[in-house]
């Protein structure tokens, strides 16, 4: 088996394993740490898909900024005393049934339609130069709107985190 295929299986198994550990862990700090691992292995899958720019962004923005924010809030809230709650059985059973149904529908659709059957050999490479050119020509307006969105989010967060909301 060639090396990229082995790496795909390694990263996919790692992502799914750490993703399930995010849910199974009772301590929110451990959950956050396993979420970082999941995101890192997804970045590995992005590299295998030749999306180098997105892999870097994934590590920088998700594993860096977003998870630091999560950890800060976990430590701010002091969630220690809420670890020992029982999980409701009805919620668990309902969740398992609905998620199982969704997975069944998805996998059946995938194996019946076979979306990757007659495609050309992949040649697209998402490096910074190509993506930047698309971003600043075809997607210039969405790019500018996203900057406004980030400004709005920043103002909103500052307003929300004031001591007395009025």
Partner 1 sequence: MNVGLEHYLTVAGLLFALGLFGVIARRNVLVMYMCLELMLNAANLALVAFSRFTNNLQGQVFVFFIITVAAAEVAVGLALIVALYRKRGTAHVEDLTTMKL
Match 């998805």 to its residue by tokens.
106
Q: Quickly count helices (H) and strands (E) in the chain.
A: 7, 0
Asked if 69 interacts with partner 1 (CB under 8 A), we say: yes
| Nearest Cα to Cα of residue 85 among 26, 20, 21, 24 | 26
Question: Which residues 130-149 are close enough to bind partner 1 by CB under 8 A?
Answer: 130-131, 134-135, 138-139, 142, 146, 149
Kindly state whether residue 128 participates in binding partner 1, applying the rule CB under 8 A.
Answer: no
Shortest reach from residue 28's CB to partner 1, in Å: 5
Determine the angle formed by the axes of helices 28-48 and 3-24, rounding to 10 degrees.
160
Rounded CA gap, 47 and 60, in Å? 14
**If binding is defined by CB under 8 A, does position 61 make contact with partner 1?**
yes
Site membership for partner 1, residue 63 (CB under 8 A): no
Handedness of CA 120, 125, 130, 135 (dihedral sign): positive
Take residue 79 and report the two structure tokens written for it.
């969630």
* Residue window 12-51: x/- pattern of binding to partner 1, with contact defined by CB under 8 A: x--xx--xx-xx----x--xx--x--xx--x--xx--xxx
How far apart are CB 2 and partner 1 at their closest, in Å? 8
Residue 73 binds partner 1, judged by CB under 8 A = yes
Query: From the list 37, 59, 120, 144, which residue makes contact with partner 1 (rule: CB under 8 A)?
Result: 120
């Amino acid at each position: 088996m060639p090396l990229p295929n082995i790496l795909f299986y390694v990263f996919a198994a790692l992502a799914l394993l750490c993703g399930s550990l995010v849910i199974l862990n009772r301590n929110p700090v451990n959950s956050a740490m396993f979420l970082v691992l999941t995101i890192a292995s997804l970045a590995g899958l992005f590299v295998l898909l030749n999306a180098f720019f997105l892999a870097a962004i994934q590590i920088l923005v998700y594993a860096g900024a977003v998870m630091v924010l999560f950890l800060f809030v976990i430590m701010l809230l002091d969630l220690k005393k809420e670890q020992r709650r029982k999980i409701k059985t009805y919620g668990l059973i309902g969740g398992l049934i609905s998620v199982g149904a969704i997975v069944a529908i998805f996998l059946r659709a995938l194996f019946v339609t076979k979306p990757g059957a007659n495609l050309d050999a992949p040649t697209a490479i998402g490096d910074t130069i190509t993506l930047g050119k698309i971003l600043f020509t075809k997607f210039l307006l969405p790019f500018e709107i996203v900057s406004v969105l980030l400004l709005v989010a920043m103002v909103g967060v500052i307003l929300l985190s004031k001591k007395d909301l009025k």
